[in-house]
A and B are shown apart, each in its own frame.
Chain A
Amino acid sequence: SAVISQKPSRDICQRGTSLTIQCQVDSQVTMMFWYRQQPGQSLTLIATANQGSEATYESGFVIDKFPISRPNLTFSTLTVSNMSPEDSSIYLCSVAQGSTEAFFGQGTRLTVV
């Protein structure tokens, strides 16, 4: 399986600011996804990061709030914009490589104060 590194692993941010989370994979992967996991909850898909084109967002998530970049097949970023305390969550990068299995990074634990 691919090795997935996320940065930062955690952060405490002021409301109204933005945070960009990076996801680096040690091999080229077909699919990259971003999930949110609110405290004590399951994983919710935010969007599919598409290489060379705009991300595909799930219902309830918009590009202005969660802009995503994927400049190549090994790297993606998720920005959480204009943060509020409700954005406090774990944000997870996930990859799939032509299979039905998905692998996850260790997550970014975000606290907004």
Chain B
Amino acid sequence: GQQLNQSPQSMFIQEGEDVSMNCTSSSIFNTWLWYKQEPGEGPVLLIALYKAGELTSNGRLTAQFGITRKDSFLNISASIPSDVGIYFCAGNTGANSKLTFGKGITLSVRP
């Protein structure tokens, strides 16, 4: 079945630093989504990408849909303590279709 690969499992950065997270797949997706999950909460959608090569920003977050449609990255610039959480990538193949999730990356930000 389809799988999304996210690594490393955890990242530790200093407040103010930029961080980049990658997500790769062995198969093609038509949509890439990035979610953030904080303790005790459900995942919150950060950015949605719909076209190969698309680059989208949401405040300090920037994400890109890879040209091959098999990868995506998420950048967080000038990190702050509230960026702490688990970042999941997810992909699907069409409207109303099932999402496939990566294993997530736990981000820690040192003040």
A residues 34-68 touching B (CB-CB < 8 Å): 41-45, 48
- Decide: A100 and B88 in contact? CB cutoff 8 A: no
Which of B38-46, B52-60, B76-84 makes up part of the contact surface?
A: B38-46
Binding site for B on A (CB under 8 A): 1, 4, 6, 30-31, 33, 41-45, 48, 92, 94, 96, 98-107, 109
7 closest A-B pairs by CB: A104-B42, A100-B31, A42-B103, A107-B42, A43-B101, A42-B101, A31-B96
In B70-111, which residues have CB < 8 Å from any A CB?
88, 90, 92, 94-99, 101-104
- Say yes or no: A43 contacts B43, CB within 8 Å: yes
- If A31-B96, A96-B96 touch, does A102 touch B33 (CB 8 Å cutoff)? yes
Cβ of B42 and Cβ of A106 under 8 Å apart?
yes
Contact across chains for A30 and B103 when beta carbons are under 8 A apart: no
8 A Cβ contacts from B20-68 to A: 30-31, 33, 35, 40-45, 48, 50
- The chain B residues found within 8 Å of chain A, CB to CB, are 30-31, 33, 35, 40-45, 48, 50, 88, 90, 92, 94-99, 101-104
A107–B35 CA distance with the chains assembled, in angstroms: 15
- Which of these, A44, A99, A107, contacts B41 with CB under 8 Å? A107
Tell me if A45 and B99 are in contact (CB < 8 A).
yes
The answer for the CA separation of A30 and B102 in the assembled complex, in Å, is 24
Q: In the complex, what distance in Å separates the CA atom of A4 from the CA atom of B102?
A: 23
| B9 and chain A: residue at smallest CB distance | A40
